[in-house]
Structure 1
Amino acid sequence: MTLSRRQFTKAALGSAALAAAGAVHLPRAASAATYTAYAFTYFTESPSFQGADYGLHLAVSRDGLNWTPLNQNNPVVTPTSGQQGLRDPQIFRKNDGTFVVVATDLKGTNFGLNSQYLHIWDSVDLSSFTGYRHVRFQTTNDHTWAPTIFWDASRQQYAIVYSAANILRVNYTTDFHTVSAAQTFFSPSSGVLDGDVVVDGGTTYLYYKNLSNGRLYGARSSTGAPNSFTTYTAGVIQGTAIEAPLLHKTIQGGWRLWGDSFGPVNSDYYLWQSSNIGADAWTLANQRDYTPPLNAKHGSITQITDAEYNAAVNRWGTPNWVRLKSSSHPDYFVRHLNGVGRIDPYPFDPYRDQMWRMVPGLADAAGVSFESVNNPGSYLRHSNYAIRLAPNDNTSTFRADATFYRVAGLADSAWSSFRSYNFPTYHLRHSNYVLRIDPISASSSLSDRQDATFRVTS
């Protein structure tokens, strides 16, 4: 969660998200070698709140970079107590191998409503979330925001750390039903927010937002005890504002640090990567390499098994729509606006303008056509080489103009390009952010080929 501008910019741009008070924590009950995928819990917001939903959302990923929202990006469960909404959900694998989810008790952006409670659920395999309870963590009239969990081996208890009154507090528990009295966990000279804690070997790492300069910092401790952390990084920031650090170790052993942007910037998330968490050597990832879930805000990530991945997908289902991400402008997505096909920086509203049903080609089922999700029956078609969104009049000309063949990306074979059905040397591309078809081939300039290359994502 965040203060001040979060009270406005989360309204302005969707906020606290893939990032989060969450992290990938390796359970004691199973070997890291058993994990082959990732799960991501979050809530959703969009710039004018058309995509706001304060229930628990779930996405999965094989690489931990590009995410598939489940349940059509609708919540899998919603709180029924307190403010009947959540923010900042953290998913954590307990020592018995099952999951617990804790989340801020807050629906919307009225950050003046200070709840002393957190929402809590249990899950065996991500196919259901049960045992819902609303647990009180403190008695002071302070907020209880952005929880994160770690196993404190010396105490033989789970620590639940959260933001309260510009410091981090902690309660301890063995069962996530009853908790110890709250105590100060981290209180440096500057105000802090959005802590995320990960234990790696004999070191406990705490990443947090420094409220004085808006940067994300890392601190560490050899014990994980309250007030034992020393900041060791120079801090990172991207765009004009950043929050909700999400630190996790990958299945391969590297490290990722996500930051949830808010304010007048183009991306909801930024990502840094490092091969050595102790070296303070974070490299900003290219946005081509990752795609957070649609409208996701302040979430958390955990590693999962094949069985858990399949259980979640089979129970909740994958999207019946796609989005098209630009190769040359990887924070831009294909959308329609006033009947014109174009690319624009995400996030934006109406956010459904970027959602497409990629159906068998209207003129040839071996091809594809793009039907608008929020204008059913209307498709992207070319007319005088320009791409428009228009209702299907079922003429042969319309069907031909609205049909494309999906081929290997002209700039990246792992992505896709779309060749026109009735102009077979022409490909879908953007030019000055507006979509059209042009004659582009493998011998065209790299910039032209990039303009005609897209990632099909969700």
Structure 2
Amino acid sequence: MTQSFHENASPRRWYRRRTALALAGALIVSGTAAVVAGPSAQAAVIDPAAYYQIVSRHSGKAVTVAGQSTADGAVVEQRTRADVTGQQFQFVDAGSGYHKLRVRHSGKVVDVASASKADGANVVQWTDNGGTNQQFRVADTDSGHVKLINRNSGKALDVRDQSTADGARISQYTDTGAVSQQWQLVKVDTAPAPKYAGYLFSYFTGENTSAGEQVYFALSQGNDPTRWRQLNGGRPVLTSAIGTRGVRDPFILRSPQGDKFYQIATDLRMYGNGNWDQVQRTGSKSIVVWESTDLVNWSAPRLARVSPDTAGNTWAPEAYYDESLGQFVVFWASKLYSPNDPNHTGTTYNRMMYATTSDFRTFSAAQVWVDKGYSTIDSTLTKHNGTYYRFTKDERSSSQSACGKFILAEKSATILNRNYSFVADCIGNNAIRQGEGPLVFKSNTEERWYMFIDEYGGRGYVPFTTTDLNTRQWTPLSSYTLPGRPRHGTVLPVTQAEYDRLLQRWG
């Protein structure tokens, strides 16, 4: 259903009747249901939930974010019409008859650079900051097209020099009524708007400071998973004073009903210790658990024992809800020692373990999930089209394997299969010295996945991306902004309401 773009019509009956006639004449079917203007200055009708191409009258080309960039300051230009999200805009009510033009692929909005009021000022995309230079009035013309008038400058969006070429810049110019300032709004036949409005990043920062082994939060800039802002002023959001009094490798997940969140983490504090051998022999057999119904109010942390007596450590716990079991499958890495070696003095290696639970309080007996005959840790899962994709750190040294200290990818039709099929190994070795703690998540807006790999002893997380999970070709991102130096954590998609709550509480 469409609704009126403006709601301030005169109460006089004759004017309302004329406006209604104009609205009826404004809807023209042209391939993809074009929305055009009638003669009244208040006649434009736009579906606020839809996306539109903004097509120039004089060139027939569409307003486009150059190169599908997600960066602040990316150029806005005209290009031949194509089925790309960098040409799709949502008209978001900004009040007083003005709207923000939100770009579908980046979540950013159309912006007159530097809030300029000058003729010829460049138009770019920028993070929505509420500025009047990011707000436009839709003004009808007598040609079935509209003008887009900037609230800050009073000037019209214009194709520079009335060019008809691909790549011509979009700028602002005094409203002259020229055809280069007239636009047709073409509704795009697309899927519904994304369910999620952004991402929450849960992580720790390392053992080099007393507060580094606690839980930190960051929020993405809208649906851009390459740009992040720290929450709570860069201080921990959740802290643990139980168990070892430190937590690492935090993992956050949503319940299948969507009404509860669980934050789990490794019970381990290395600050002031540093004995990695000892903590794999006599480390914690428990994970740390928090619960929340809204992401901002959290329970006190509690210890939940998951590992058997033969385990020397319980590292990097994650969980995935298995619909066939009706349970969460919780998995982690442990070194297992012989029952005849109660002091764990022997030689062994890390295996991936698992247990099931419905409430993160009571767990089934732990079982081995991954045993390759050598040490593996830090498994993570994602599911796509009925297939589970598992990513795991190969703990062998580079002298033992060319792919040691990088990421192994496998897949299976069932989550608890002991024999996943090989997909790829050595993931990350084209861009980082060594990697662990992979986190994988799907884009909220397109068929694309991101993997952050923790370059431990180096930069911390480095982002990679792919459009095909059945590949070794994970491309490192050349441009990104992470929140400080995050270490092994999780990215969770969040709704607009959840995003707003997090920003209000810790922004």
TM-score range, shorter chain: 0.5 to 0.7
Contact 1:115–1:142, Cα closer than 8 Å, also in 2: yes
**Higher relative CO (CA 8 A, sep ≥ 6), structure 1 or 2?**
1
Q: State the percentage of identical aligned residues.
A: 30
1:45 Cα offset (Å) = 2.8
Once the two structures are TM-superposed, the CA of residue 181 in structure 1 deviates from its matched residue by 0.5
CA shift for structure 1 position 80:
2.4
Alpha-carbon distance in 2 for matches of 1:202, 1:284: 27
Q: Which residue of 2 aligns with 1:301?
A: 491
Q: Does 1:262 align with 2:452?
A: no
Determine the C-alpha separation between the residues in 2 that align with 1:185 and 1:86.
23
**Which among 416, 432, 445 is matched to residue 225 of structure 1?**
416
Q: Match of 2:228?
A: 67
Aligned residue number for residue 203 of structure 1: 387
SS in 2 for 1:118: strand
RMSD of aligned residue pairs (Cα, Å): 1.8
Q: 1:184, 1:226 within 8 Å by CA — same for their partners in 2? A: no
| Equivalent of 2:407 in 188, 211, 216 | 216
Are 1:161 and 2:295 matched, yes or no? Answer: no
Distance (Å, rounded) in 2 between the aligned partners of 1:256 and 1:77: 25
What is the aligned partner in structure 1 of residue 303 from structure 2? 134
- What one-letter code is carried by the residue in structure 2 that aligns with 1:245? P
Match of 1:430 in 2: none
Q: Which amino acid aligns with 1:280?
A: R
Name the structure 2 match of 1:146.
Answer: 316
> Are the counterparts in 2 of residues 90 and 147 from structure 1 also a CA contact under 8 Å?
yes
Provide the rounded CA distance (Å) in 2 between the counterparts of 1:279 and 1:136. Answer: 36
Contact 1:169 1:186 in 2 (8 A): yes
Cα displacement (A) at 1:193: 1.1
How many Å separate the matches in 2 of 1:299 and 1:51?
18
Q: Distance in 1 between matches of 2:240 and 2:275?
A: 17
Q: What does residue range 52-451 of structure 1 map to in structure 2 within 5 Å?
A: 52-61=211-220, 62=222, 63-97=224-258, 98-108=260-270, 109-111=274-276, 112-113=278-279, 114-139=283-308, 140-165=310-335, 166-212=350-396, 213-236=404-427, 237=429, 238-252=431-445, 253-263=447-457, 265=458, 267-286=459-478, 288=479, 290-317=480-507
| Structure 2 unmatched runs, 5+ | 1-191, 336-349, 397-403
- Tell me if the contact between 2:316 and 2:378 (Cα under 8 Å) persists in the aligned partners: yes
Q: How many residues align?
A: 281
Q: Given the two structures, how large is their TM-score scaled by the length of structure 2?
A: 0.53
- Counterpart code for 2:246: G
After superposing on structure 2, the runs of 4+ consecutive aligned residues of structure 1 that deviate more than 3 Å are none
Give the aligned partner of residue 47 of structure 2.
none
Residue aligned with 2:290, SS:
strand
In 2, distance between residues paired with 1:55 and 1:271? 22
Q: Evaluate the alpha carbon distance shift between residue 81 and residue 244 of structure 1 in structure 2; reply closer, same or farther with a 3 A threshold.
A: same
Q: CA deviation at 1:107?
A: 1.5
Q: After TM superposition, give the deviation of residue 279 of structure 1 in Å.
A: 3.2
Structure 1 or 2, whichever has the larger Rg, is 2
In the alignment, structure 1 segments of 5+ residues that lack a partner are 1-30, 318-458
Aligned AA for 2:353? R
TM-score normalised by structure 1 residue count: 0.59
SS at the partner of 1:55? coil
CA contact (8 A) 1:150 1:158 kept: yes
AA matched with 1:102: I
Q: Secondary structure at the match of 2:437?
A: strand
Shift of 1:51: 7.4
Q: Distance in 1 between matches of 2:408 and 2:215?
A: 27
